[in-house]
Amino acid sequence: MADRLAKICEVTKVEIIAPAGVGRARLSVGKLGPVGEPESSTWLEETTEAVPPD
């Protein structure tokens, strides 16, 4: 998990918020951008957009 967290920190803001006293720590992660789509998904989307509705 530490490796994944380190990789995410390069891309977005990540904070671990620990409340004073007792309580659970909270993980705050900023918005992540899109990862990208496989070529097959892009093809499928373009093909279905070209089909007229019934």
Give the chain's domain count: 1
**pLDDT tens per residue, the chain (54 residues)?**
667 767 766 777 778 888 888 788 888 877 766 667 778 888 888 888 877 777
The answer to whether the beta carbons of residues 11 and 33 sit under 8 Å apart is yes
How many Å apart are CA 2 and CA 36, to the nearest integer? Answer: 23
What pLDDT is recorded for position 47? 87
Please tell me the distance from the alpha carbon of residue 10 to that of residue 29, in angstroms, as a whole number. 12
What pLDDT sits at residue 19?
84
Q: What is the pLDDT of residue 14?
A: 78
- CA-wise closest residue to 27 among 44, 13, 40: 13
Asked if the structure places residue 38 within a domain, the reply is no
- Positive or negative, the CA dihedral 46, 49, 52, 54 is positive
Is residue 51 situated within a structural domain?
no
- Please report whether residue 2 resides in a domain: yes
Q: pTM of the prediction?
A: 0.36
Q: Is residue 22 part of a domain?
A: yes
Boundaries of domain holding 14? 1-29
Q: Is residue 11 part of a domain?
A: yes
In-domain check, residue 50:
no
Residue 15: predicted pLDDT = 82
